[in-house]
A and B are shown apart, each in its own frame.
Chain A
Amino acid sequence: MANKSKFDESVYWFFHSDNLRSLLINADNLLDSQHKIQFSVQVITSKFDIGDLFNLNKNPEYKIVERKKSKELLFFTIERKIKRQNITINGNVLIIKYSLPNVYLIITHEPSQFIQKVLFKLLDNYYPKISRMSMDSKSIHDILRKLQNSLENKNIRIIKVIKKGWVKSEFAKKKMESDINWTDKSLDEVFQSIRESQEWIKSIDFAITRDKTSNNKSNQSLENQDTFFGYIDNYRISRDGLFKCNHNFSHMFKNVIEEIAKRASFNFELYDNRNRNKLDRYNPKPLQIIFDYDIFRDKIENRRLINVLNKISYSSCSVYHGNPYFQASYVDYRDGSSYDIWVLSDERMTIVPQMRSTPASLNRLCESIFIGFREGIVKNFEGEYD
C-alpha cells in the first residue's frame, strides 16, 4: 500500500512562499478557499541547522529531498518506507527558521498519519540534536488566555480535552488515568476543573465563537468573522508543541504559535549548557523543580518518584537513598546524559546535570516527571556556592 501525497495545486503557492510574510498570506488564502485543509505546526528546538541535518540524513528508512530553500524557509519532501507494514508514506513540510535562536517551526497540511508515522518518527531519530518542546498545563492556559485577550467580542470555547491524572491509590496497578472529554465550556472553567482535579493536559481542541451578548459586530483582530459562527473552525494545542488550525492562520501564528515558540526558546535556554565542564572547573549548574505544595511531606511520594524515573525509556536510575530524603543518579542511554537527582525538602527536587547534558535530555527528564509525577516549575538552582 502506498500513500501518495499529491502535490495539490492549491497548496503549491503556500509551499513556494518566499518568506514568512508571504507564507502567512498564502496560508490564510488557502484556508479561506479550501475548507478541508488543516495546518499543523510543530515547534522544535535545535542547536543545529535543521536543513543540514535533513540533507545529511543517513537513515535508509527515510528519503528527504530539499525542494526549495530561502533565508527564512526550507521546503522538504519526506518519505518513509515502513517495511514492517509494507507501506510508504510521504508528505511535504515547510520549516521556518524562527527569529528566536534554536527554534524552528515545521508546518504541513498533511494528515495525522504523516505527522505521527513520518514526521515525529523522523524527529525522534534526531534526538538529542532535535527536541520537540514540551509545555505544562499552565503554559497552555496562559497561551490560550493571551489568545482570548486578542479576540474582541469573541470567546474561546473548549470542545475537546484530553487530560490525564495521576492514580495515587496504593493498590492501583495503573499509575495514570486518561480522560477524553467532549465538551462546550469556557477556557477558565476547563482549567479550573483541571487544577482542582490535579490533572494535566495532553491536548485541547477549541473553537472561537462570537459573543452573542455583544452588539459590537466590528472585528479588528480576526478576518472573515462570519467563519466563526458555529464550530466550523477548529484548533488544537498539544503539550508537545503541536498546534493545528483550519482557520485564521496568521492570527493564530501571532497569538499562539509565536507564544509556543517563545516558551520553547525559554526552555531551551534554561536547559542548555548545563553540563559540568573543565572551563567552569566542573562546577555543577543545577535546576530545581518546584511543586505547588509540599508533596514530599508524604514519603510515599518518594516511592512514586522512583517508579516514574524507572519507567522512562532508554534510561536507568540508581537510587542511593530513598527515604526520608532522595538521592539518585539517572542516565539517559540515548545520548549519554547523566543527572544526580535530590529531594531534600518537601516542595522541590534538584536535578544536577553531570558531564554530559543536553536540552533534549533535560526536557525529556522534566517532562517525564511532570506527566508521571506532578507538574511543577523548573528554575535555576540558587544555592550556597561561589
Chain B
Amino acid sequence: MIDNPQVDMKNKIDDYNETIFAILSFSHLLRWDNSSKKFLPDSFLFIGRKMDTSGENRINPNNTVTPDLIVQLNKKNGIVGEVKIGFSVNRDFWKSDFDQIQKYDDKMKGWITSDEFIDTTDIVLLTHITKKIPCIDYIKEKTLKNEIKFDRKFAVIAFSKDVRGSDVFLYLEKAYGDISDLEMNEVLRKGQNMPLSRFISTYRVKFYDSEPPLPYLMSIIWQDILPQLASEDDLMERKGRMIHLDVNIGKITGLLQEQFTYKINHDERQQQIPKTAWVRTALDLFVQLGYGEKKGKSNDDYIINWQNLNKSPLDIFIKEFISGKRLSKRKELPERTKKMRLDDFGF
C-alpha cells in the first residue's frame, strides 16, 4: 500500500460523506412515500438524538444514550440506528461498538409522541458492504456465547456506493436479522439501490454525530460560512482580495448547526452538531496556519483573513493540515487599506 497522507485524508472525507449518504438514503427509503410524493405523515428523521434508557436497560439503565440515527416511521413504530462505516482491525475493540448498539434494545423515551414512547422499536447497524461478513461472523459468534443479545428486532444493513448505467446509487442491503415492517424487510433483503440524483442534493446535511476530518470542516467554514460574515458591498469592493472578518466561535458553530445539519423538528433532545469543540479546533488551525489571529484576550473571538485562495480550499487545507504550515499565497492589502479595515473592527 502507498503511504500517501493526502490520499488517506481524501479517503477519510469520502468515508464521512458516504456515511451521510447512507444515513439519508436509509431514512429516505423508509420515509418517502412515492404515491403522495411526500414524507410519510408523522415520520421524523433525527441524526444524533438524546434518548432516555429505562431501568430495565441491560447495559446502561436510567441514563441517556445518543444513537446516530432515529427514524420515527409513525406514532407507533421507529428505528434506532448506529452507523459504522468501518471497524477496528483488532476485534477486541468491537465489544464497545456492540455494547453501544445493545443499549438501544430498550423501551427508550424521546420519541415524538404525547408521552415520548412508541410501541415498537427496531435496531439497525448500518455498515459498509465490505464489513458485512466480518460483522455478521462476529454477531453470530457472540450471540452463540450469549455475549450479544437483542430482545427487539435487530438487523445489519450493509451499504455501498454503486454506479449502474447512468445513475449513481447508494445500495442498501439487509445482511443480517430482520426489521418489523415485513414489506420493507423484503425490500432490504433483496437489496435496494437508492438513486442519489433524486434526493441527496436536497438534503443540506454535511455533518453527522461524529467528528469530521478537520480539512473538511475548514473548507465548509471557508466556503459556506465565512462569506456570510461579509457584506455584499465589501465583497464587491475587495474583488477576492483579503478581507478581515470578525469571527465568533458561537456564531460560526450556530450557523453550521442551523444550516448544514438535518435540523427539522428539532427540540432540546437534539444533539448539537458540529460541536463547538470541533469548530474551535478548526479556527485554531486557521490561526496556526496564518489565516487569522485571536482577537484580544477572548478565547472565542478571532479575526480571519478571508481571501481568494485561487486553488481548491479543500486541497490546500489538506496539505497544510498534514504539513502543519501555510502553503497558500497571501495577498495582503495595501497598508493604508488594511489599516482602514482594522479600524472597522474598533482597533
Contacts and interface: CB of A to CB of B under 8 A. Distances in A.
Interface of A: 125-129, 276, 278, 281-284, 286, 294, 297, 310, 314-321, 324-325, 327, 329-331, 333-338, 340, 342, 344-348, 350, 352, 354-356, 358, 381, 383-386
A320 B13 contact: yes
B163 A381 contact: no
Nearest to A352: B201
B163 A325 contact: yes
Given A321-B14, A344-B200, A345-B197, 10 more contacts: A318-B315, A320-B314, A335-B236, A342-B201, A344-B195, A347-B166, A381-B201, A383-B201, A383-B202, A386-B38
Given A294-B166, A338-B223, A355-B228, A314 B239 contact: yes
Interface centre among A282, A315, A320, A327, by most chain B C-beta atoms within 10 angstroms, is: A320
A286 B259 contact: no
A310 B216 CA distance: 18
Contacts of B313: 316, 318, 331
A325 B223 contact: no
B235 A335 contact: yes
B227 interface: yes
B229 to A, nearest CB: 9
B113 interface: no
B94 interface: no
B31 to A, nearest CB: 10
Nearest to A321: B14
Contacts of A126: 236
Nearest to B39: A386
B35 interface: no
B180 interface: no
A86 B232 CA distance: 31
B7 interface: no
A319 B37 CA distance: 31
Given A129-B236, A355-B259, A316 B312 contact: yes
B314 to A, nearest CB: 3
A286 B223 contact: no
Given A327-B17, A384-B32, A350 B227 contact: no
B39 A314 contact: no
Contact of B258 (A282, A315, A348): A282
A342 B198 CA distance: 11
A355 B167 CA distance: 28
A286 B239 CA distance: 26
B264 interface: yes
A344 B198 CA distance: 9
Nearest to B226: A336
A161 B202 CA distance: 41
B223 A318 contact: yes
Nearest to A383: B202
A281 B168 contact: no
Contacts of A345: 166-168, 195, 197
A337 B227 contact: yes
Contact of B167 (A333, A334, A338, A344): A344
B108 to A, nearest CB: 27
